[in-house]
Amino acid sequence: MNSIADNICAVRKRIAEVAADCGRGEDSVQLLAVSKTRSPDELRDAYAAGQCAFGENYLQEALDKIEALADLDIEWHFIGPIQSNKTRAIAGHFDWVHSVDRAKVARRLSEQRPGGLAPLNICLQVNISAEPSKSGCLPDEVEALAREVATLPNIRLRGLMAIPAASEDPEEQRRPLAAMRELLRQLQQEHPGLDTLSMGMSADMEAAICEGATQVRIGTALFGPRDYGAKTPVGTAT
């Protein structure tokens, strides 16, 4: 079995190769390690291998890790669905939030962001495949939501996030990812500061990079398959 360090090295190599094939620089794509259900020791191993950005889905589990790893200079990303009663803790402990899909949540994050912290980086989650089981605003709702979120203090609108419907067909993978790229391009006409497309996971990372992803959210390829039965996340943000 490969070590976490070996896996990080292999994934970074994949990112660099795909980016080069698409005419992009390696530095144009950030690797975000999806660390839900992973132990603080596993995150320490990843950090020792040079991985500094981690994405968490479950709030209480994330807060426990943030406390346990407070001695490390980690960039924490919240990537799970958000309940309104979870926003204060999210606003106070994370650097990025990828899963804002309604104005109420954005307003609460802005109001509850502690004054001593830098503005909270925000991505709007888009349900690009219109799946009933997934969070996110619909594509035709993004423009109005972006306009409202962009006016809020204490947060900085950075771009868009999506979890497209799963497919093993590379062409099917690219269709919704291309739609996300175009959606961001349209928003940039009104909001030129937007610079982030958070999309692509272990199974569709290559397609996402080719369609302009600036952050890929990788878990299994770094840490191996998850054993949800071994640990039940506490205080989920679903």
Tens digits of residue pLDDT in 219-228:
999 999 877 5
Q: What is the pLDDT of residues 177-199, one digit of tens each?
A: 999 999 999 999 999 999 999 99
- The predicted pLDDT at position 228 comes to 59
Would 231 be classed as within a structural domain? no
**For the packed helices 170-190 and 142-149, what is the interaxial angle rounded to 10 degrees?**
50
Record the tokens describing residue 141, joined without a space. Answer: 């709702």
Indicate whether 66 belongs to any domain: yes
Residue 65 included in any domain: yes
Q: Is residue 230 part of a domain?
A: no
Q: State the helix-helix crossing angle for 4-21 and 40-48, rounded to 10 degrees.
A: 60
pLDDT value at 235 more than 70: no
pLDDT at 231 over 60: no
- Categorize the per-residue pLDDT at 1 as very low, low, confident or very high, splitting at 50, 70 and 90: confident
Q: Examine residue 77 and state whether it is found in any structural domain, yes or no.
A: yes
In a domain, 238, yes or no: no
- Confidence band, pLDDT 50/70/90 cuts, at residue 236: very low
Q: Per-residue pLDDT tens for 144-178?
A: 999 999 999 999 999 999 999 988 988 899 999 99
Task: Return the sign of the alpha-carbon dihedral for residues 67, 74, 216, 50.
Answer: negative
Contact 204, 20 (CB under 8 A): no
What is the separation of C-alpha 99 from the centre of its chain, rounded to a whole number of angstroms? 8
3-class state of residue 164 by DSSP: coil
With a cut of 50, say whether residue 237 has pLDDT above it.
no
Tell me the CATH number at 58: 3.20.20.10
Length of the chain (residues) = 238
- Domain extent at residue 162: 4-221
Residue 228 lies inside a defined structural domain of this protein: no
> Is residue 236 in a domain?
no
Query: Which ranges of 22-150 does DSSP label H, i.e. alpha helix?
Result: 40-48, 59-68, 87-93, 103-112, 142-149
Tally of structural domains, the chain:
1
